[in-house]
């Protein structure tokens, strides 16, 4: 098949710290695996400068398109629209619903009568978010990252053909055999039990709830908080929560390259993702955590996980089998779940092994690519 994949942001060949998260890695990783399965894939994304094209392997091209306003999520690319109108593709797979780049791609595909698949990752331009039914009417098929995401999309376009692809993990990179001892020594973690969070520091991630839980955790517990600070107002707020006697027990690392993340997962005892619907300022976030890829990465490293019951986070977490699910914004319940795991090494190991087996069986990028290809064939009635 000839497949066009559109994503407003993907990991550029030169690293751009903090701008790339789970959604952006999703598009690139999926493109690579679909190409490995013998399909010809062109991945289109925006460029801050001139248009460039790179080939990765025999079947994958990445085209960085010069757009009207650089990295702005609402930028328009006339070059992309022209390419979609004159190039033969069997399927166009668009990532992110509420952006100008994505919307223009859907319209171009409609005009050319090319089957359109949509995977949304949340967020987007407020103007487009305010008219979701119009945007959601354009794709032929929804390929959601979770059932939570799918149900949101189907509210806008009931009855549309749909699939759940979930996200994937590079199990060759994220694995339980990576040595985390050097990292423990670097951050003075030896002799402590380590609770890890990985994610961009924004108010929906609930890091403040994790910090509020710290007084209820054993005194030999340290919090290791990994991720680029994208909301400095929020970061200053969570720093204000750190009392003097807890300062030595909380470590903020800032941005860490993906290749180094497995060391952090393997250095921890428990992984926690405490995201919220309602942030510390009282603002509601309905698209908070459509899936949560970091929890899958932690499972791939053999770790028990604790996640809040927010969005798609509980999906792929079976309570008391491979992790624990807690009420959002409840630091005492979060602390109780963490304490239960920290106090029972055998339970942690058993949950970690269960999570690892689940990821290896269901959540590799190969498995996601197979589901995506099945989705593509469905629009052709094959």
pLDDT of residue 349: 98
State pLDDT tens for residues 181-224. Answer: 999 999 999 999 999 999 999 999 999 999 999 999 999 999 99
pLDDT at 287 over 90: no
pLDDT, tens only, 71-88? 455 667 888 999 999 999
Is the per-residue pLDDT at 19 higher than 60?
no
CA dihedral 253, 258, 259, 262 (to 10 degrees): 70
Pick the range with the lowest mean pLDDT from 117-126, 169-178, 310-319, 362-371.
Answer: 117-126
C-alpha–C-alpha distance, residues 43 and 53, integer Å: 10
C-alpha R_g of the chain:
21
Q: How far apart are CA 229 and CA 252, in angstroms?
A: 10
Other CB atoms within 10 Å distance of the CB of residue 257: 8
Please report which confidence band the pLDDT of residue 18 belongs to, taking 50, 70 and 90 as the band edges. very low
Reported as a pLDDT band with limits 50, 70 and 90, residue 379 is confident
Does the structure show a pLDDT above 70 at 140?
yes
pLDDT in tens, 229-274: 999 999 999 999 998 789 999 999 999 999 999 999 999 999 999 9
- For residue 187, the model assigns a pLDDT of 97
Q: What is the dihedral of CA 255, 257, 262, 266, to 10 degrees?
A: -30
Judge whether 291 and 167 are in contact, CB under 8 Å: yes
The Cα 298–Cα 355 span in angstroms is 9
Among 8, 119, 33, 85, CA closest to 364: 33
Do residues 95 and 7 lie in contact, with contact meaning Cβ atoms separated by under 8 Å? yes
Q: Can you list the domains of the chain with their CATH numbers? A: 2-168+364-379 (3.40.50.2000), 181-362 (3.40.50.2000)
Mean pLDDT value across the chain: 92
What pLDDT was estimated at residue 51? Answer: 82
Phi/psi for 251 (5° steps) reads -120, 120
pTM of the prediction? 0.92
**How high is the pLDDT of residue 127?**
85
Confidence of residue 133 (pLDDT cuts 50, 70, 90): very high
- Averaged over 3-22, what is the pLDDT? 65
Angle between helix 78-86 and helix 100-112 axes, rounded to 10 deg: 20
pLDDT of residue 48: 63
Per residue in 292-350, pLDDT tens?
A: 999 999 999 999 999 999 999 999 999 999 999 999 999 999 999 999 999 999 999 99
- Outline where the chain has alpha helix (H): 22-36, 78-86, 100-112, 126-129, 132-136, 147-156, 181-186, 207-213, 232-240, 261-267, 293-300, 331-342, 345-362, 365-379
Which of 319-344 are b and which e, b meaning 16 or more Cβ less than 10 Å from the residue's Cβ?
eeebbbbbebbbbebbbbbbbbbbee
Better-scored residue on pLDDT, 100 or 322: 322
What are the tokens at 154? 């189907």
Return d(Cα 71, Cα 134) in angstroms, integer: 25
Q: 16: pLDDT confidence band, cut at 50, 70 and 90?
A: very low
Q: What is the pLDDT of residue 332?
A: 98
Rounded distance between C-alpha atoms, residue 261 and residue 290, angstroms: 21
Q: How far apart are CA 74 and CA 45, in angstroms?
A: 12
Query: Residue 288 to residues 178, 245, 365: CA-CA distances in angstroms?
Result: 30, 32, 23
- Among 44-58, 135-149, 296-310, 340-354, the range scoring the smallest mean pLDDT is 44-58
Least confident segment among 156-165, 281-290, 341-350, 351-360: 281-290
The strand order across the sheet containing 250-254 reads 250-254, 221-226, 193-198, 270-273, 305-308, 323-326
Q: Kindly report the CA angle at 22 between 20 and 24, in degrees rounded to 5?
A: 50
Closest CA to 351 of 318, 328, 325, 327: 318
Strands, DSSP E only, in 114-259?
116-119, 141-144, 161-164, 193-198, 221-226, 250-254
pLDDT of residue 15: 41
**DSSP notation for 57-109:** TTTEEEEEEE-TTTT-TT---HHHHHHHHHS--SEEEEE-SSSHHHHHHHHHH
Q: Which residue has the higher pLDDT, 162 or 56?
A: 162
* pLDDT bucket at 3, cuts 50 / 70 / 90: very high
pLDDT band (50, 70, 90) for residue 17: very low
């Amino acid at each position: 098949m000839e497949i066009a994949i559109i994503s407003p942001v993907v990991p550029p060949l030169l690293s751009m710290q903090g701008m790339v998260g789970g959604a952006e890695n999703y598009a690139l990783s999926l493109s690579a695996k679909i190409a490995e399965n013998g399909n010809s894939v062109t991945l289109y994304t925006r460029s801050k400068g001139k248009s460039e094209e790179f080939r990765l392997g025999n079947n994958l091209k990445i085209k960085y398109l010069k757009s009207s306003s650089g990295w702005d999520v609402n930028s328009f690319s006339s070059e992309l629209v022209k390419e979609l109108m004159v190039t033969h593709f069997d399927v166009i797979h668009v990532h992110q619903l509420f952006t100008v780049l994505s919307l223009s791609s859907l319209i171009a595909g409609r005009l050319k009568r090319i089957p359109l698949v949509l995977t949304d990752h949340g967020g987007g331009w407020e103007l487009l978010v305010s008219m979701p039914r119009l945007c959601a009417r354009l794709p032929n098929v929804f390929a959601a990252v979770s059932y939570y995401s799918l149900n949101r999309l189907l509210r806008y376009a009931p009855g549309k053909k749909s699939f759940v692809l979930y996200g994937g993990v590079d199990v060759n990179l994220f694995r339980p055999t990576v040595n985390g001892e050097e990292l423990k020594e670097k951050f003075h973690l030896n002799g402590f039990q380590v609770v890890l969070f990985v994610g961009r520091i924004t108010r929906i991630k609930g890091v403040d709830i994790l910090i509020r839980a710290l007084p209820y955790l054993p005194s030999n517990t340290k919090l290791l908080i990994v991720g680029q600070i994208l909301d400095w107002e929020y970061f200053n707020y969570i720093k204000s929560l750190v009392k003097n006697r807890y300062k030595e027990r909380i470590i903020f690392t800032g941005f860490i390259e993906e290749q180094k993340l497995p060391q952090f997962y393997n250095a921890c005892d428990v992984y926690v993702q405490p995201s919220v619907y309602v942030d510390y300022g009282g603002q509601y976030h309905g698209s908070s955590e459509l899936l949560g890829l970091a929890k899958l990465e932690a499972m791939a490293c053999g770790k028990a996980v604790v996640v809040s019951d927010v969005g798609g986070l509980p999906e792929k977490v079976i309570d008391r089998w491979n992790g624990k699910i807690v009420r959002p914004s409840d630091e005492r319940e979060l602390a109780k779940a963490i304490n239960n795991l920290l106090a029972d090494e055998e339970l942690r190991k058993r949950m970690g092994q269960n999570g690892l087996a689940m990821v290896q069986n269901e959540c590799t990028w190969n498995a996601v690519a197979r589901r995506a290809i099945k989705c593509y064939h469905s629009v052709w009635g094959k």
